[in-house]
Amino acid sequence: LAYEGHRDGHSQIIYKDLGDGERVISDRGGALGDGNSHDPVIGNSGYYVAFESEAANLAVNALGRPGDFNGFADAYLYTDVRNLTLVQSVEEKAVPLAGGGQNPSMSYYANYVLFDSPAPLGMGASASQIFMRYLGPV
């Protein structure tokens, strides 16, 4: 089960495992997100949660680089298997997209993450593009 809960003045994503209790997954190293997190989507297996966050202190990508300085909400994926939350709205070499990432979703096995980003290629103020990240074989 994944849902939004209010902690320390911001909306956080709470993950509840029936055998393991509940915990905040919109955190990094025990520090809660410094912005609102919302729209959790739990994967079919129950081990993955995609969500959107405006917090600037959550972003750690697959290369271990911290920081989110784009000023927009970003798409994240939490895995209960590794107890890890990683930013997914990134370009090559794990650089966050300038427009961030909104409305995250994932495939049946959570090996694809989809999100949209506003005008990342300079297409105009109202344009958005859909991005799909392949995370590897199941």
Contact in structure between 78 and 25 (CB atoms under 8 Å): yes
Buried b (16+ CB within 10 A) or exposed e, 4-21: eeeeeebbbbbbeeeeee
Whole-prediction pTM value? 0.88
Domain count of the fold of the chain: 1
By residue range, what is the domain housing residue 19? 2-134
Spatial distance between the Cα atoms of 52 and 102, rounded to a whole number of angstroms: 6
Half-sphere exposure for 36 (CA within 13 Å, toward CB): 6
Q: Which of 111, 119, 121, 122 is nearest to 88 (CA)?
A: 111
Which residues, 6+ apart, have CB-to-CB distance to 72 below 8 Å? 54, 98, 99, 100, 101, 102, 118
Type of residue at 101: G
For residue 91, the SS3 value is coil
Average pLDDT per 10 consecutive residues for the chain, totaling 138 residues: 94 90 89 94 91 87 70 91 86 77 93 85 68 87
Residue with token string 């980003």: 117
pLDDT of the residue at 77: 93
